Amino acid sequence: MLCQFTFNNYKSYKDETVFDMQAAAITEFNESLLSNEKDWTKSFLPVSVIYGPNGGGKSNLLSALSCLVTMVVNPIVELQKSKVNVISNKQDACTPFLFNDISRQASSSFEVFFRTEGNEYRYILSSLFGKVTEECLYRRSVGGRKTATIFKRDDSVVKLGASISKRGVNINVNPKLPYLSFLAINYNFDVITEVQKWFESCIIHSYKGLNSVKGMNTAEAREAKEKLVSFLNDMGIGISDYRFDETSEQFYIAREILGKSYELDLLSESEGTIKLFGMLPVILVSLLEGRLIVIDELDTKLHPKLLRYIIMLFKNPAINKNGAQLLFTSHDLSTMKSEVFRRDEIWFAAKNDNESSEIYSLYEIRKEDNTRIKTTAAFDKQYLEGRYGADPYLANMLKWEV
């Protein structure tokens, strides 16, 4: 599971930015938190949402994570060495902050802290003009105290830790290729395989594609297909079945009306239904396999009740049994409520006076008396009033005079 993501000098973010999925010491939705039986002292969030104005940096935060994941995963996939079914149809270039003469010539840096079943890892990667300038991988057992170095890389110089320091391991690598990817492609070290699988399991999703649904036409995927139909029916999209026609390369949805089945081309449905049809399969994979799924503007074309339904799938421990996590951006304020989110699950992104984006969680905000925002507060109303920063431009619009 994702614990923390730190990055700097990437697109609209100039300074170090920390996004945290580690749960704060608050009591809201405690039953939904993710934990490990080997370490009950730490819990993690199943969901996080980022709000903010257009151009504030919401999408760029997700893009930064996507950039890191694709830099590691794409070389492995291209050489058909992946260990997990990779679901990612979005690739982001590593672009520095351009509104500063120093930063535009400096490396973009990323650090991700994540947990697997028995270990936690920190992976650091810096890139400049397509070349890796720094790279490190560290491991510690869950609940343990000692941290081991797996490898460290400074430009072209690579130093191996004890776990992979064996005769014949090549430490000469293409400057554009992450050493983690190189090791995953060429060797079978258990520690590298575990890290590789975590990166490959991250789902960077765009709802515009329907390829993920095609795979549910096989006999092996029948159970997943039945769950997808069940989810759609729960959301009010009443269907009895669907199929993919190889000849026309179109999806058809079946509905039972007065005991008779009728089929309709999926493209004849509403855009919201088409989005759900393309998105729910990967959400289902995320829940079944305990994966992190990242979706930009999840609320687009969705009714607020459907958006809430999807959020609650991840917050329901009876459904989210394998530690899946959902990270998304949204403009929908109808779900910005204490009945849906913990305060540490709500994040804001906005630009400062230097045109650099910053993020912070609702839990971090302090009122004038230095107290935190209470759970009884109307989060959506106070956000529009400008109490949370993030320049809610709708409040300014309401004050305009014609």
The residue with tokens 């400049």 is: 128
Q: For residue 110, what are the CA distances in angstroms to 61, 113, 147, 385?
A: 11, 10, 19, 34
Pairing of strands 157-160, 203-205: unpaired
Task: State how far the Cα of 357 lies from the Cα of 9, in Å rounded to an integer.
Answer: 10
Beta strands in 171-265 (DSSP E): 203-205, 241-245, 250-257, 260-265
pLDDT digits (tens, 9 = 90+) for 225-264: 788 888 888 888 888 888 888 888 888 888 888 888 888 8
**Amino acid symbol at 173:** V
pLDDT in tens, the chain (402 residues): 999 999 999 999 999 999 999 999 999 999 999 988 777 778 999 999 999 988 899 999 999 999 999 999 999 999 999 999 888 756 778 999 999 999 999 999 999 999 998 999 999 999 999 999 999 999 999 988 899 999 999 998 999 999 998 878 999 999 999 999 999 999 999 999 999 999 999 998 865 555 555 555 444 466 777 888 888 888 888 888 888 888 888 888 888 888 888 888 888 888 888 888 888 888 999 999 999 999 999 998 888 999 999 999 999 999 999 999 999 999 999 999 999 999 999 999 999 888 999 999 999 998 888 899 999 999 999 998 888 876 655 445 444 443
Backbone angles phi and psi of 98, in degrees to 5? -95, -10
| 2-202+291-398 CATH | 3.40.50
Do the beta carbons of residue 79 and residue 182 sit within 8 Å?
no
Q: For residue 305, what are the CA distances in angstroms to 221, 316, 333?
A: 28, 16, 12
Q: For residue 400, what are the CA distances in angstroms to 166, 390, 391, 395?
A: 69, 19, 15, 9
The residue with tokens 């560290």 is: 138
CB atoms within 10 A of CB 157: 8
The residue among 230, 225, 202 whose CA lies nearest residue 214 is 225
Tokens of 259: 């005991």
Task: State how far the Cα of 175 lies from the Cα of 127, in Å rounded to an integer.
Answer: 10
Is the pTM value of this prediction over 0.85?
Answer: yes
Residues 6+ apart with CB under 8 A from 33: 23, 43, 44, 45, 46
Where along the chain do its domains lie? 2-202+291-398, 211-280
Res 390: pLDDT = 66
Task: State how far the Cα of 70 lies from the Cα of 82, in Å rounded to an integer.
Answer: 13
Do the beta carbons of residue 232 and residue 118 sit within 8 Å?
no
Beta strands in 59-118 (DSSP E): 108-115
